[in-house]
C-alpha cells in the first residue's frame, strides 16, 4: 500500500531516530546576504538547515530560501559530470557527451594557452552572482585579458560608483543605515535586499523603538509592507526628487554648513574662467600635495582675510557662497566660486513643483519630506561621548548624531540616469551631515576608500601582452580621460567597451553587452567566452531571444561567431544548453569559499568581518568547485602568481591557495584576515597560518574584528582610523577622504568634450554625450530610452522586483520554494487594468517597442497607476532546470527581459542601453502598453522556448530516490 493511504504517519516527530545527528557550520549562499547557517546531518545525510545563532550577521535568523537549501542539494537539475557538445550539433539543443575532467582540462589548457600566447584579450571571463571576484579578477589579470567582468554592470554599479565617486563608500557591503540610532528611515528604490536578514532584524528593532519608516518606491512590496508611509514614485525619477529636496534644504538654509566646510569640497574654489582650468579646482603650488594622485592643495575663500587660503589651513573661516577674484599669486585675477555656490545654482530651479511634475509625488509631500528629514537631522541631533582626532590633528570630545538614515539599491541604480541620481542621494545625505555619523549612513571596512579608489584599468595596448599578466587590474576607477581603456587609435580595448568614451566610468564592466559585441565583432571578435553562474541566454540578458540567436550564429565558413563557449554551473539551465564545454560546479554546501576583505566581505559598522564556507557534504558525482577549476587552470597555464620561481606548481588546491597567497612578497595580507601569523595570533595582517581554515571552522566560519569606538565614526577624516586602515592595507594612503559635492573628475571629461583640455578627447559623435552627462554636479535627466520611445503610445513603466523567497533564477528547481512562487503575474493597478479592459487573473499582453509577452494579470493597489511590475526570473524555458514540460514556470510564468533591448540607437549610432557614465544596464527604463488577450488564444505564456535535459542529470534523480 502506498504510505499516504496507510494509518502510519508520513513523519513521526516523536519517534526515536536512533541515528547520529551532526551539526556543521558554514555560510549560506541561497542569496548574496551570506548568513551563518548550521547544516544538520543524520548519518551523513543533510536533513535540516537553520540559522547560526552565534553568527554576527544574521544572529540565528534564517529566511525561506536559506532553510530550503536542503532542496537545492536534492535538486534534479544538478549537473554531475563535465560535458562536451556533440560535434555538428547546434548550440541550445543540449546534445552533449560526458567527458572526464582530465579531458576538460586538456581542452581548456590547450585552447587558453594558445590564446594567452598570442592575443590574450580573445579570452573573456564573465561571472554572475558569484562571491569570489577577488579570485576571478586575479585569474583574468594573470591571464592577461582585460575582458573580465562580474555581474555588477547589469546589477547595481550605479549605486556603487555614484556613491564611491562622492563619499568613498556605498550601501550594502560597503555601508548602510545605522538603524540602531536613526529616528527616521527613508528607503528608496529597494524591495528585497542583498542585505536581507540583517535588514529585517534592524528594521524590526527600529520599528519597535518607535522609528518612522518611509518607503519611496513605485511598488509597495518587501520591506515596504511595514513602512509607516509609502510614497509611490514614477520609475527613473528619483533623481528629480533628490534635486527638489536639495533645493528645499538650501532654500531654507537647513544644511550642515560646518560639516560641509570641513569634510567636503563644498568650500573649495572652482575656477570660472574659460579655458583648460574651467570648472576645475585651483591648486596651490606652494603647499605640499598630500595625495599625488588626487591632490588636496586646493583653496578656500577665507571670510576673515577676504583672500584665498590653502584649503587645509587651520584657523580660517571658509565661505560656501559668493564669487571671488584670486589675489596676488599664481592665479591672480582668476574668477573663482566655492563648489557649494555651484550646487546652489544647480538646484535653484529644481523646485518641488518641477519635481512633482516628473515624479508624480504631490508638491506638498515633497516639501514636507524635506522638512521631516531636516528637522530629524538637526532637531534631534545628539552627541555620543566618543573622542576622536581628525586628520588635521584636532581632538573632538564627541561624535554628532544626525538620526536620519537612507537606504537605496537597484531601483535607483538600474536606470540610464542612475549614476547622477545616486550622486544626488549622496550629496543630499552630505547636506544633512549624515555621513559616517551615528543614526545616519555608516561605512563598513574596507570602506571608506579614496574618492575614487586608486586602481586604474588597463589604458593602452602596452598593458596587454602575450604570456604576461595585465599591467593593471582589469577593473578600476578612472579619474581622467587618459585612464580610459583605449588603444592608440582611440578604440575600446575591451570587448564590452567599458572605460571607452561610451561608458568612461564603467567600474564593473558591461557584461550585458559581451555576447552582442563579440558576435558583431565590435570592437573585435573573441575566441573563448567563459561564463560562470550567469544565465546569459535567459534572465541575465536583455533582448533574450536575439541573444540566444547570437549564441548560435555562425560565420560564412560555418564556424560559430563566438568559437568556444564554456559554462560552469551547478545546475542545468537555459544557458547550459548553449555551452560547448560544461563544467559541473558544486553547491555552496560542497565547497570551500571565502568572503574576503580583498573582495566584498561581511563587515559590520564596528570593524572588518570576513567569513568562509567549509564543505558539509561531499561533492555530488564529479562536481568540482569553480574555485578549484581556476586554481588548476592557473597552475597548468603557469601564471606567475601560481608558479614557483623554479617553474613548479605553487598551490596544491584552493584551500592551500587561500592559506598561502599574499598580495605582495611578505605583505602579510591575504584572502582571509583572521588568525594570521604562524600561530594564528594576528588579525588582519600577518604571515600565512597553515591552520587558518581550522580556526574559521572552530569559530562559526567567521572572523570579526572590533575596532575601538574612537575609530568607528567619521572615518573619512578620522586620523586614528585612517592610520589603522593604511597599516592594514585597507587603503594605500591615510589622507582624508573629502566628500565630492562637486566632482572635478567628471569635469575633466566634460572639458575633454569641449576641446579645452589638453590630452585625450572623445570622438566627434560622442562629444555632446560626454558634455551633457558628465556634469560635475548631480542633475536629473529622463532615462535615455525615452528619447527613442513614442511616449504617447507606450505610456506605462515596467519594472521587476526580486521576491523574498527566491533569488534571481536560482530557485525554480527547489521543490519547497516552488510552492511559494511557481509562476508570476503582471501586477497592474486596478484602475489601470480596468481602463485597459483587463480582468484580475486574465491573460493579457504586455508590449514594448522591442517585443511582447503574454502573461496573466493581477490587480493591485500596491503599485503606482503608471507602473506595472512582476517578479524577476520566475518564468523559465520549458524543461529548463529539470522542470516538467508543463511546469507553471514555463506555461504561466514569464520573463520581462523579452521587452528590453540591450542597445539603443541614439544620435544616429548604436550604444548599449545603459548609463552613459558607468554602463549600468537600464533595465527599468522600458516603456510598455497593455492589452487583453483574445478569448481564442491559448492559455499559456508567450514566447515559448524549449530547453533540454543534459546527460548526467538522471544520476542525481537516482541518487535522490
Summarize as ranges the residues that interact with ligand SF4 (CB under 6 A). Answer: 28, 30-31, 33-35, 58, 62-63, 65-66, 196-197
Closer by beta carbon to ligand SF4, 193 or else 878: 193
The minimum distance between CB 810 and ligand SF4, in angstroms, equals: 10
**Cβ-based neighbours of 384, under 8 Å, separated by 6 or more:** 398, 399, 401, 438, 713
The minimum distance between CB 172 and ligand SF4, in angstroms, equals: 12
Closer by beta carbon to ligand SF4, 156 or else 879: 156
**Cβ-based neighbours of 247, under 8 Å, separated by 6 or more:** 347, 348, 349, 350, 351, 352
Which grid coordinates are listed for 269? 574654489
The minimum distance between CB 57 and ligand SF4, in angstroms, equals: 8
The minimum distance between CB 560 and ligand SF4, in angstroms, equals: 37
**Cβ-based neighbours of 71, under 8 Å, separated by 6 or more:** 814, 815, 816, 817
The minimum distance between CB 124 and ligand SF4, in angstroms, equals: 29
Per-residue CA distances from 717 to 314, 405, 477, 721 (Å): 15, 20, 21, 8
The minimum distance between CB 193 and ligand SF4, in angstroms, equals: 9
The minimum distance between CB 33 and ligand SF4, in angstroms, equals: 4
**Cβ-based neighbours of 46, under 8 Å, separated by 6 or more:** 39, 40, 70, 73, 589, 616, 617
Return the residue matching grid coordinates 522542470: 883
C-alpha 856: how far from chain center: 31
The minimum distance between CB 31 and ligand SF4, in angstroms, equals: 3
Which H or E run contains 158? helix 157-167
Answer whether 324's CB lies under 8 Å from 301's CB: yes
Q: Which letter does DSSP use for residue 375 in this model?
A: I
The partner residues of 78 in beta bridges, in order of sequence, read: 571
Closer by beta carbon to ligand SF4, 197 or else 824: 197
The minimum distance between CB 65 and ligand SF4, in angstroms, equals: 4
Per-residue CA distances from 41 to 24, 55, 543, 707 (Å): 8, 19, 43, 36
324 CB-side CA count, 13 A = 30
Which grid coordinates are listed for 203? 528594521
The partner residues of 310 in beta bridges, in order of sequence, read: 299
The minimum distance between CB 592 and ligand SF4, in angstroms, equals: 17
Per-residue CA distances from 601 to 607, 673, 732, 793 (Å): 11, 10, 18, 46
The minimum distance between CB 62 and ligand SF4, in angstroms, equals: 5
Alpha helices in 701-843 (DSSP H): 719-727, 744-754, 767-773, 830-835
Tell me phi and psi for residue 161, to 5 degrees: -70, -45
Which grid coordinates are listed for 897? 527581459
The minimum distance between CB 63 and ligand SF4, in angstroms, equals: 3
Residue whose beta carbon is closest to ligand SF4: 66
Which grid coordinates are listed for 75? 535538486
For residue 419, give the nearest of 165, 55, 732 by alpha carbon: 165
Give the span between the Cα atoms of 895 and 890, in whole angstroms: 10
Residue 163, number of CB atoms within 10 A of its CB: 25
Answer whether 627's CB lies under 8 Å from 135's CB: yes
The minimum distance between CB 35 and ligand SF4, in angstroms, equals: 3
Count, in order, helices (H) and strands (E) of the chain. Answer: 24, 36
Give the span between the Cα atoms of 11 and 634, in whole angstroms: 49
The minimum distance between CB 428 and ligand SF4, in angstroms, equals: 29
The maximal CA–CA distance of the chain, rounded, in angstroms, is 101
Which H or E run contains 626? helix 626-636
Give the span between the Cα atoms of 747 and 951, in whole angstroms: 55
**Cβ-based neighbours of 521, under 8 Å, separated by 6 or more:** 561
Closer by beta carbon to ligand SF4, 72 or else 891: 72
The minimum distance between CB 198 and ligand SF4, in angstroms, equals: 8
The minimum distance between CB 28 and ligand SF4, in angstroms, equals: 3
Give the span between the Cα atoms of 845 and 798, in whole angstroms: 13
The minimum distance between CB 684 and ligand SF4, in angstroms, equals: 25
Closer by beta carbon to ligand SF4, 261 or else 613: 613
For residue 780, give the nearest of 156, 451, 356 by alpha carbon: 356
Per-residue CA distances from 936 to 623, 931, 949 (Å): 47, 14, 32
Give the span between the Cα atoms of 433 and 717, in whole angstroms: 13
Amino acid at each position: 500500500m502506498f504510505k499516504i493511504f496507510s494509518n502510519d504517519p508520513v513523519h513521526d516527530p516523536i519517534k526515536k531516530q536512533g541515528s547520529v545527528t551532526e551539526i556543521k557550520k558554514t555560510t549560506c549562499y541561497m542569496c548574496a546576504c551570506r548568513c551563518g547557517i548550521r547544516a544538520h546531518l543524520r548519518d551523513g545525510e543533510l536533513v535540516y538547515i537553520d540559522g547560526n545563532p552565534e553568527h554576527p550577521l544574521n544572529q540565528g535568523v534564517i529566511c525561506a530560501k536559506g532553510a530550503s537549501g536542503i532542496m537545492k542539494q536534492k535538486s534534479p537539475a544538478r549537473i554531475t559530470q563535465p560535458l562536451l557538445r556533440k560535434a555538428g550539433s547546434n548550440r541550445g539543443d543540449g546534445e552533449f557527451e560526458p567527458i572526464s575532467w582530465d579531458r576538460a582540462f586538456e581542452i581548456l589548457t590547450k585552447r587558453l594557452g594558445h590564446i594567452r600566447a598570442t592575443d590574450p584579450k580573445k579570452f573573456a571571463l564573465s561571472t554572475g552572482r558569484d562571491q569570489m571576484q577577488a579570485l576571478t579578477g586575479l585569474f583574468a589579470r594573470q591571464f592577461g585579458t582585460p575582458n573580465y567582468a562580474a555581474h555588477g554592470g547589469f546589477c547595481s554599479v550605479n549605486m556603487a560608483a555614484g556613491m564611491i565617486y562622492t563619499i568613498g563608500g556605498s550601501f550594502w557591503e560597503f555601508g548602510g543605515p545605522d538603524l540602531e540610532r536613526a529616528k527616521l528611515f527613508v528607503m528608496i528604490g529597494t524591495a528585497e535586499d542583498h542585505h536581507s536578514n540583517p535588514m529585517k532584524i534592524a528594521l524590526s528593532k527600529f520599528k519597535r523603538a518607535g522609528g518612522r519608516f518611509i518607503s519611496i518606491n513605485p511598488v509597495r512590496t518587501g520591506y515596504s509592507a511595514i513602512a509607516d508611509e509609502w510614497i509611490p514614485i514614477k520609475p527613473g525619477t528619483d533623481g528629480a526628487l533628490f534635486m527638489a529636496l536639495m533645493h528645499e534644504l538650501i532654500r531654507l538654509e537647513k544644511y550642515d554648513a560646518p560639516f560641509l566646510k570641513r569634510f567636503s569640497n563644498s568650500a573649495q574654489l572652482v575656477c570660472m574662467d574659460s579655458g583648460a582650468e574651467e570648472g576645475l579646482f585651483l591648486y596651490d603650488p606652494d603647499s605640499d600635495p598630500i595625495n599625488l594622485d588626487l591632490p588636496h592643495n586646493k583653496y578656500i575663500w577665507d571670510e576673515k582675510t577676504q583672500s584665498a587660503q590653502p584649503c587645509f589651513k587651520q584657523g580660517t573661516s571658509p565661505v560656501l557662497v559668493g564669487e571671488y577674484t584670486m589675489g596676488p599669486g599664481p592665479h591672480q585675477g582668476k574668477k573663482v566660486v566655492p563648489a557649494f555656490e555651484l550646487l546652489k545654482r544647480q538646484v535653484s530651479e529644481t523646485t518641488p513643483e518641477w519635481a512633482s511634475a516628473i515624479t508624480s509625488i504631490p508638491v506638498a509631500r515633497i516639501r514636507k519630506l524635506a522638512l521631516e528629514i531636516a528637522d530629524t537631522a538637526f532637531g534631534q541631533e545628539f552627541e555620543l561621548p566618543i573622542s576622536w582626532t581628525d586628520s588635521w590633528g584636532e581632538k573632538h570630545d564627541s561624535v554628532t548624531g544626525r538620526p536620519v538614515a537612507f537606504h537605496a539599491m537597484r531601483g535607483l541604480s538600474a536606470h540610464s540616469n542612475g549614476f547622477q541620481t545616486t550622486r544626488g542621494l549622496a550629496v543630499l545625505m552630505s547636506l544633512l551631515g549624515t555621513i559616517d555619523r551615528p543614526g545616519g549612513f555608516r561605512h563598513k571596512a574596507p570602506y571608506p576608500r579614496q574618492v575614487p579608489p586608486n586602481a586604474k584599468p588597463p589604458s593602452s595596448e602596452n598593458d596587454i601582452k602575450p604570456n604576461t599578466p595585465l599591467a593593471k587590474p582589469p577593473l578600476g576607477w578612472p579619474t581622467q580621460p587618459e585612464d580610459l581603456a583605449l588603444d592608440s587609435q582611440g578604440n575600446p580595448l575591451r570587448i564590452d567597451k567599458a572605460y571607452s568614451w561610451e561608458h568612461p566610468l564603467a567600474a564593473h564592466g558591461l557584461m550585458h553587452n559581451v555576447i552582442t559585441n563579440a558576435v558583431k565583432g565590435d570592437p573585435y571578435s573573441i575566441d573563448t567566452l567563459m561564463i560562470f553562474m550567469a544565465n546569459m541566454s535567459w534572465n541575465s540578458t536583455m533582448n533574450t531571444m536575439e541573444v540566444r540567436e547570437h549564441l548560435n550564429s555562425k560565420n560564412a565558413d560555418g564556424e560559430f561567431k563566438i568559437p568556444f563557449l564554456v559554462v560552469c554551473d551547478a545546475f542545468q539551465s537555459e544557458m547550459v544548453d548553449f555551452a560547448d564545454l560544461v563544467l559541473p560546479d558544486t553547491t555552496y554546501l560542497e565547497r570551500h569559499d571565502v568572503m574576503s576583505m580583498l573582495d566584498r566581505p561581511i563587515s559590520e559598522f564596528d570593524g572588518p568581518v570576513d567569513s568562509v564556507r567549509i564543505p558539509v557534504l561531499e561533492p555530488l558525482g564529479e562536481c568540482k568547485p569553480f574555485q578549484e577549476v581556476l586554481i588548476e587552470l592557473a597552475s597548468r597555464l603557469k601564471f606567475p602568481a601560481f608558479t614557483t620561481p623554479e617553474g613548479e606548481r605553487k598551490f596544491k588546491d584552493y584551500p592551500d591557495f587561500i592559506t598561502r597567497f599574499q598580495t605582495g612578497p611578505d605583505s602579510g595580507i591575504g584572502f582571509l584576515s583572521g588568525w594570521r601569523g604562524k600561530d594564528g595570533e594576528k588579525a588582519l595582517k600577518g604571515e600565512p597560518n597553515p591552520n587558518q581554515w581550522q580556526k574559521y571552522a572552530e569559530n562559526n566560519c567567521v572572523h570579526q574584528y572590533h575596532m575601538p569606538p574612537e575609530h568607528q565614526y567619521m572615518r573619512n577624516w578620522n586620523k586614528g582610523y585612517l592610520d589603522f586602515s593604511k597599516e592594514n592595507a585597507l587603503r594605500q594612503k591615510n589622507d582624508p577622504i573629502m566628500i565630492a559635492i562637486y566632482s572635478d573628475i567628471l569635469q575633466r571629461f566634460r572639458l575633454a568634450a569641449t576641446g579645452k583640455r589638453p590630452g585625450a578627447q572623445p570622438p566627434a559623435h560622442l562629444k555632446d554625450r560626454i558634455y551633457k552627462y558628465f556634469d560635475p554636479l548631480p542633475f536629473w535627466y529622463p532615462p535615455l530610452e525615452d528619447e527613442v520611445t513614442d511616449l504617447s503610445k507606450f505610456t506605462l513603466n515596467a519594472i521587476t522586483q526580486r521576491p523574498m523567497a527566491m533569488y534571481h533564477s536560482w530557485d525554480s528547481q527547489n521543490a519547497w520554494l516552488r510552492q511559494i512562487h511557481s509562476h508570476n503575474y503582471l501586477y497592474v493597478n486596478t484602475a489601470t487594468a480596468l481602463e485597459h479592459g483587463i480582468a484580475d487573473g486574465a491573460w493579457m499582453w504586455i508590449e514594448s517597442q522591442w517585443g511582447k509577452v503574454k502573461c496573466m494579470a493581477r490587480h493591485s493597489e500596491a503599485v503606482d497607476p503608471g507602473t506595472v511590475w512582476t517578479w524577476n526570473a520566475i518564468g523559465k524555458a520549458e524543461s529548463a532546470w529539470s522542470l516538467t514540460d508543463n511546469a507553471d514556470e514555463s506555461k504561466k510564468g514569464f520573463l520581462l527581459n523579452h521587452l528590453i533591448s540591450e542597445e539603443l540607437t541614439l544620435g544616429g549610432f548604436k550604444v548599449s542601453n545603459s548609463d552613459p557614465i558607468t554602463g549600468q544596464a537600464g533595465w527599468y527604463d522600458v516603456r510598455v502598453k497593455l492589452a487583453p488577450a483574445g478569448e481564442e488564444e491559448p492559455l499559456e505564456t508567450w514566447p515559448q522556448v524549449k530547453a533540454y535535459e543534459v546527460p548526467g542529470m538522471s544520476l542525481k534523480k537516482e541518487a535522490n530516490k
